Chain A
Amino acid sequence: MVQYIVRRLLYSIPVIIGVTLITFILLNVVPGDPVLEMVGKYADPEAIEQIREQLGLNDPLVVQYMRFLFNLLRGDLGKSFKTNLPVSKMIADTFPTTLKLALSSYLVAIVLGVSVGIISAVKQYSILDRSMMILALAGVSAPVFWVAVVAQLIFGLKLGWFPISGYYSFRHMILPAIVLGTRFAASIARYTRSALLDVIRQDYIRTARAKGLSERRVIFIHALKNAMIPVVTILGMQLSGLLTGSILTETVFAIPGLGRLSVWALSERDFPLVQGTVVFTAIVYILGNLIVDISYAFLNPRVRLK
């Protein structure tokens, strides 16, 4: 097990380096001069040249990239052009909010998705099953930002149950968590259903039934545990959707999280901040996948042997 974890950890290092490289290349093909964006068009050319020199923008790209990489290792992502605050601090200030949103959405997704999945599997091909699965597919098809806008409209403006923007109290957290969570509940439900249907046909389930165990015990104790293995993978696969979904959800609900920070950075054309948020989000994503892989190996010993 330890060996597996070490191997996976080592493997993520080149991937992280690749991600920083791709981001760096991407932001360097951006037309327009970042310094001009920072100081404005009418600044003194000499002052511009001075700032370029200070920021090391006159060095060859390879040198700039290596510097970026080493600074990253020390946790230094440079300073924001607009606020002059360290990018790492701005990320550290906003990330906990995004994490809160992500975890509460996961919670909604798992509770809702697994329950719908179980009901669907146990009542396979019933009207309930069919309609829930169609609803789940519709849930996957609905764009999250639109669901967020409609939720604001109905539960915020019309019914007045929840505040529609900001993130100050528990009540502010409910609507975004439901909006983002329901979307993932849909695919969790679909996977729980098919995994459970798969497991139900196994011999050991027949044995459990033959022993005369109650149906409830068979499903919840024997079947569900094994059916959860693929569901864990789905949680991992959804991490990407969760991170990007939070960008859109935070934008709609004006939640001061990392997603909104990256959108703000884009609209302000704040290069260090864009670079920092993109690299940080990608690294979170890679590490999240790592955790999922490890817990997967934990749940399913066959993975480790490969």
Chain B
Amino acid sequence: MAEKKATSLYADAFRRLRKNKAAMFGLIFVIFVVFVAIFAPLLAPADPNKIDLQNRLKPMGSPSRICRNGVYILGSDEYGRDILSRLIYGARVSLTVGVMTQLITTAIGVVIGSLAGYYGGVIDMVMMRIADMLFAFPELLFYIGMMFALGPGLTNMFIALSVIGWAGKARLVRSQVIYLKETEFVEAAKAQGFSDFRIIVKHILPNCMGPIIVSVSLGIPGAILAEAGLSFLGLGILPPTPSWGNMIRSASAYLRIQPWYAVWPGVVLMLATFAFNLLGDGLRDALDPRLKQ
């Protein structure tokens, strides 16, 4: 190193991330999916719920009366709806579920984790035992039970995925806080007479951001897959709202007639989760250089 410039952790991490080709590919694809979801009405050739019963289960490239460009680019489904448009709108559902559950679980996890880690004692005991019990369920099984209890729908999906999800985040933050509260800079802050709240928020939490960011970026694909799995079982997002999971569910009945109908939602689903996983892996390497060595 010829010159040593003072760089912040994040500038440093971003520099490392930029060098990681796989992670950059992930990032670009994630941005692409977000773009598609936001501009869905402009990008989709047709209204995703527009039905044309005379053109059911048409193969790719068939002429269409409902699409602006006059062609079913990826074919039509069992109601003659445009598969491509439904995929585009499905991105909205997947992203909403992914992002919302991560927001909710991170908010709860950070509060509980930092309280449990900083104060220890009874709060810590109770919180961590509750987390243990939630972890004792196979995840999807718990989600299935929750969705059965609450009924299908987007809001209930947020609730179901968050009830378990906070526990992982809380554990992560707790372990970081326990380590950080013994460090010298926190002791220095205590010696200055700062309040606990200020120490946690201003001194400890900023130092936990790395692991939290990684956990969020790897949590999003997890939530997207969970949504797809639940919708596939008919417990998540119900048709006619398009979701990649419920599209695969409907398509599996028409494998013989329109095989591509089942293929596309899965391809999109896989690419999206793959991109998030690549980005998450890259962020982990970038934010924690020790792991790489």
Contact = CB atoms under 8 A, between A and B. Distances in A.
Q: Tell me if chain B binds chain A.
A: yes
Interface of A: 14-16, 18-19, 22-23, 26-27, 29-31, 134, 137-138, 140-147, 149-150, 152-153, 157, 239-241, 243-244, 247-248, 251-252, 262-263, 266-267, 274, 278, 281-282, 285-286
Interface of B: 22, 129, 132-134, 136-141, 144-146, 148-149, 151, 221, 225, 228-229, 232-235, 245, 248, 251-252, 255-256, 259, 262-263, 265-266, 269-270, 273-274, 277-278, 281
Contacts, number: 128
Given A137-B277, A145-B232, A244 B140 contact: yes
Contacts of A285: 136-138
Nearest to A259: B141
A247 B259 CA distance: 23
A150 B262 contact: yes
A19 B137 contact: yes
Consensus secondary structure, chain B interface: helix
Nearest to B134: A22
Contact of A143 (B145, B228, B251, B255): B228
A251 B140 CA distance: 14
A75 B225 CA distance: 34
A304 B254 CA distance: 54
Given A18-B133, A274-B148, A157 B255 contact: yes
A-side binding surface: helix, strand, loop or mixed? helix
Contacts of A251: 233
A285 to B, nearest CB: 5
B148 A247 contact: no
Contact of A149 (B129, B149, B262): B262
A137 B274 contact: yes
B137 to A, nearest CB: 5
B141 A243 contact: yes
A29 B144 contact: no
Contacts of B232: 143, 145, 248
B149 A29 contact: yes
Nearest to B291: A194
A252 B262 CA distance: 13
A107 to B, nearest CB: 20
30 contacts: A15-B132, A15-B133, A18-B132, A19-B136, A26-B149, A137-B277, A137-B278, A138-B270, A140-B277, A141-B277, A143-B229, A143-B245, A143-B248, A143-B266, A144-B229, A145-B232, A146-B269, A146-B270, A149-B248, A149-B262, A153-B255, A240-B139, A244-B139, A244-B140, A244-B141, A247-B144, A266-B144, A266-B235, A278-B144, A281-B138
A266 B146 CA distance: 11
B269 A247 contact: no
A244 B277 CA distance: 21
Contact of A141 (B138, B141, B233, B274): B274
A26 B145 CA distance: 7
B292 to A, nearest CB: 11
A29 B132 CA distance: 22
B278 to A, nearest CB: 7
B146 A152 contact: no
